[in-house]
Structure formats: C-alpha cells, structure tokens
Amino acid sequence: NFMGNRTPLDGNNYAGISQGRHYGNYLNESLMGTLQSQLPEGEERTYRVSAWFSTGSVRRYPSDIEILLYNSQTREELQVVDARVSNSQNWEELSGSVDANKAFDRLIIRGINKGENGHTLSYTYVDKVSVQECTSGCGDQNDDLR
C-alpha cells in the first residue's frame, strides 16, 4: 500500500488507518465491523477484545488508538481499549476486557486525539481483530464473535 508494507500477522491481508494533526485540525479514520453475533442484552457477560497493531512504514509516528463496542440502533459506545501504538518493526497486541449487558453489534477501531501527539499524520496497520466471550476467564477457550 502507499504507506509501506508489513507482513500480515494473520491470513493474507491487514487494514490501516490515518490519524493526527493536519493544518491545525485533528483528522482520523475509523474501521467499523459488524459482529457475527450481536451481544445479548440484559445479561451481563465479560468480553475480551483484541487487535494487533504496528505503525506504518512511511508515517511511523506513535498513535493513540481506541477500540469500542458499538450499538448501531442506539449509537451507544463502550470503550474497551485506549492505548498508544509505537512499534514500527513488529506487530503488538492491544487488548482489554469489559463487562457488558447491552446489545452491541459492531466494533470500532479509531485514532483518538489526546493532545499529546504533536506529530503530523500517523498511519497504523491493524490485523487479527477478535471479540470473545469469556466463559471461564479470558483465555483461548472462548467463543470468537469477530
């Protein structure tokens, strides 16, 4: 792609988003995906959300990223991950667990403006996104809803 290359962590492809300051304004792109199964409403369950990130080859500045669960009917958002991506050589996993009792049906990954990144635009690669219900802790023996 025009921002460089990275060997995919999982499968044959990865995605990328731009974010950062541009002519005094903060610009960001988002990735939104529909979950295979909508999270059930009313019964609180624990979910582990994870994705792997790497800064771009051309715009390698650190970037602040958040991962959210989202309800497309009510537009309610629930932040699960808020972290900085700074590795330009390898993939790094960002993950978090959250208790939810709402009917979330989407996942959003986007750059956020914390005012700490004085750089111009950054580019971040994204791969291997996963949402899992934690049936007995948040290990690998869970149902994958990605």
- What are 4-61's pLDDT values in tens digits? 778 889 889 999 988 877 777 777 888 999 998 888 788 888 999 999 999 888 777 8
pTM of this structure: 0.84
Fold of 15-137: Jelly Rolls (2.60.120)
Contact 8, 14 (CB under 8 A): yes
DSSP structure class, residue 74: T
| pLDDT, position 119 | 58
Q: How do residues 67-108 score in pLDDT, each as one tens digit?
A: 999 999 999 999 999 999 989 889 999 999 998 888 899 999
| pLDDT, position 44 | 85
| pLDDT, position 141 | 44
pLDDT at 117 over 60: no
∠ CA 17-120-64, rounded to 5° = 50
Q: Which residue has the tokens 């903060």?
A: 26
| pLDDT, position 118 | 56
Q: Considering Cα of 115, then 119, then 120, then 121, what sign does the dihedral take?
A: negative
DSSP line for 97-146: EEEE-S---EEEEEE---S---SS-EEEEEEEEEEEE-SSSSSSSSEE--
